Amino acid sequence: MLNRDALLFSPTRDGVPSSDDHFTADDLLGAQEALEAEARDTLPYRFDQCTYDLGYIKQPLFACRTCLGDRAVCHACSISCHTSHELVELFNRRAYRCDCGTAAMGAGSCCSISGRDDAEPNSLNRIDDNFRGIFCYCGRPYDPHTETDDMLQCLVCEDWLHAACVGLPHSDDDDDPTKPLCQDDFDQLVCWRCVQGSQDVRRVMTRYAGVEGTGVLLLAPEATVFGRVRSSDTDDDDEGTVKGDDEGEAVEASAETTTEPQSEGKRKAADDAAEEPAAKRVKAAGTAATAGPSASGATEDGDAVPTGKAPDAQDPASCRAPPVVPADASPLVKLERGGARPNVYLEEGFMDRWCRCRECLGMFTKLPFLLEEEEVFEPPEDPDAHKSTFELGMNHLLTRMPRIQALDSVRAFTGLSDRLKAFFRPHADSGTSITKEHIQSFFEKERERERD
């Protein structure tokens, strides 16, 4: 914990004067205002309402490594109940109920906000390696102070993945024309573990991924991107058409260029000099369905998967999905047979491009977050977050003390302020530095004044 001296007089803290330096009152006030602004940015919300009674919702979570069980708590409990504990910020996770005050966090666990203690464990909460501070395929522990790579969240399993581990450049290189796919080129990511491990996800992706015009992108090992939505200037004459055989041959050729699985992209972390210590990136709000990497990797029918073009106009009376072709013609399957582990990148507006006919909607029964954005609980904003410590102190004084005592205190504060200004004025006019001895002399006179 940083104490007052460390915060206000640390020579290592940028913008804060050291006790060994000469500084003006403006310097000190500026440093104080900067610290208060930092506090407002860090704690902009109220933390007096636990979300336990709201049930299983999508919400910001903090895994507590100090309590038992590697469980997570809501934003309010992370501050009110676990402020001195080792916490791992998980950002938004779906279908999770706050574990604070439940037996899952150890005997005697108590929520100081609600008074709940040793409640029954939340059996529907899904726990993974992220709760132990381990992220991505590479399994490297996450340290926000040293991590240099960007991190992106899989839309399905909600794991955080290094950009390098999913074949993407750092966001600083998004303007590099030599990069086939940059972070600004897509809106959401579905990792290869979910593509291979969840039957529901696989059924959708084998039908759409890599098919020209769907906006469901695949990145081949030789840096070719398949599945882009055609730009308006290239489809005036052939709107809605696909590359057909050319695309199939290209994917097949790219799959044949490698016989080894793609590297899982371990990357050593270095000191992070970016403006924010945490490089995690949430690209869009993702309802309470859990379709993670747990089921088998086979397609539902086992022998045929769809591919082809995605129609441009939505017509509820007809199917908009790519037509069905043999499994070995799927761009996704071709890459996998070549030894790749392809992630899927969803271009902006992907939710509007899925077919929503009666038959196709069945594919999304367990994947509603692919069809529409999820509702995310946001802690209520703190109405006092914008106030300075002086304003908060005066508000406390005027609203919680007896009126006569409050007025006396205000008069005493005003008198002290006037005398302090009068004491400082000659020094300000002459440009004389105020030393520790000057301050001690002033308050010694104040003590004598009170005795008289």
The pLDDT assigned to 103 comes to: 93
How far apart CA 189 and CA 44 sit, in angstroms, is: 29
How far apart CA 5 and CA 304 sit, in angstroms, is: 69
Binning pLDDT at 50, 70 and 90, where does residue 20 land? low
Q: Which string of DSSP letters, residue by residue, matches 12-72?
A: TSTT---TTS---HHHHHHHHHHHHHHHHHH--B--S--SGGG-SEEEEEEEESSSTTS-E
Per the listing, tokens 């704690």 go with: 43
Domain ranges of the chain: 1-42, 52-132, 144-370
Q: What does the mean pLDDT of the chain come to? A: 77
Instruction: Write out the two tokens for 451.
Output: 């005795």
Instruction: Write out the two tokens for 16.
Output: 């804060």
Summarize pLDDT for 63-74 with one digit per residue, the tens.
999 998 899 999
User: Residues 78, 137: contact at Cβ < 8 Å?
Assistant: no
Specify the range with the lowest mean pLDDT, choosing from 229-233, 303-307, 340-344, 393-397. 303-307
Average pLDDT over every residue of 40-44: 66
Alpha-helical (H) ranges within 43-157 are 75-80
Binning pLDDT at 50, 70 and 90, where does residue 325 land? confident
Average pLDDT over every residue of 91-112: 93
Summarize pLDDT for 212-250 with one digit per residue, the tens.
999 999 999 888 999 999 754 344 444 433 344 445 555
Average pLDDT over every residue of 17-28: 61
Binning pLDDT at 50, 70 and 90, where does residue 62 land? very high
- Secondary structure E strands in 65-115: 72-73, 87-96
Buried b (16+ CB within 10 A) or exposed e, 177-193: eeeebbbebbbbbbbbb
The pLDDT assigned to 354 comes to: 95
Report which of residues 80 and 297 the model is more confident about. 80
How far apart CA 110 and CA 103 sit, in angstroms, is: 9
User: Residues 290, 128: contact at Cβ < 8 Å?
Assistant: no
pLDDT at 154 over 50: yes
Angle at 31 between CA 26 and CA 36, to 5 degrees: 125
The pLDDT assigned to 339 comes to: 92
User: Residues 160, 152: contact at Cβ < 8 Å?
Assistant: yes
Rg (CA), the chain: 29
Average pLDDT over every residue of 344-359: 94
The pLDDT assigned to 182 comes to: 92
Binning pLDDT at 50, 70 and 90, where does residue 384 land? low
Report which of residues 133 and 397 the model is more confident about. 133
Binning pLDDT at 50, 70 and 90, where does residue 310 land? very low
Average pLDDT over every residue of 373-379: 93
Summarize pLDDT for 257-289 with one digit per residue, the tens.
443 433 333 333 334 434 444 455 544 444 433
pLDDT at 390 over 60: yes
Instruction: Kindly report the number of other CB atoms within 10 A of residue 365's CB atom.
Output: 10
User: Residues 356, 367: contact at Cβ < 8 Å?
Assistant: no
Instruction: Kindly report the number of other CB atoms within 10 A of residue 384's CB atom.
Output: 11
Average pLDDT over every residue of 291-299: 39
Q: Which of 94, 149, 152, 58 is nearest to 345 (CA)?
A: 152
Buried b (16+ CB within 10 A) or exposed e, 22-32: eeeeeeeeebb
pLDDT at 193 over 80: yes
Report which of residues 88 and 29 the model is more confident about. 88
Binning pLDDT at 50, 70 and 90, where does residue 295 land? very low
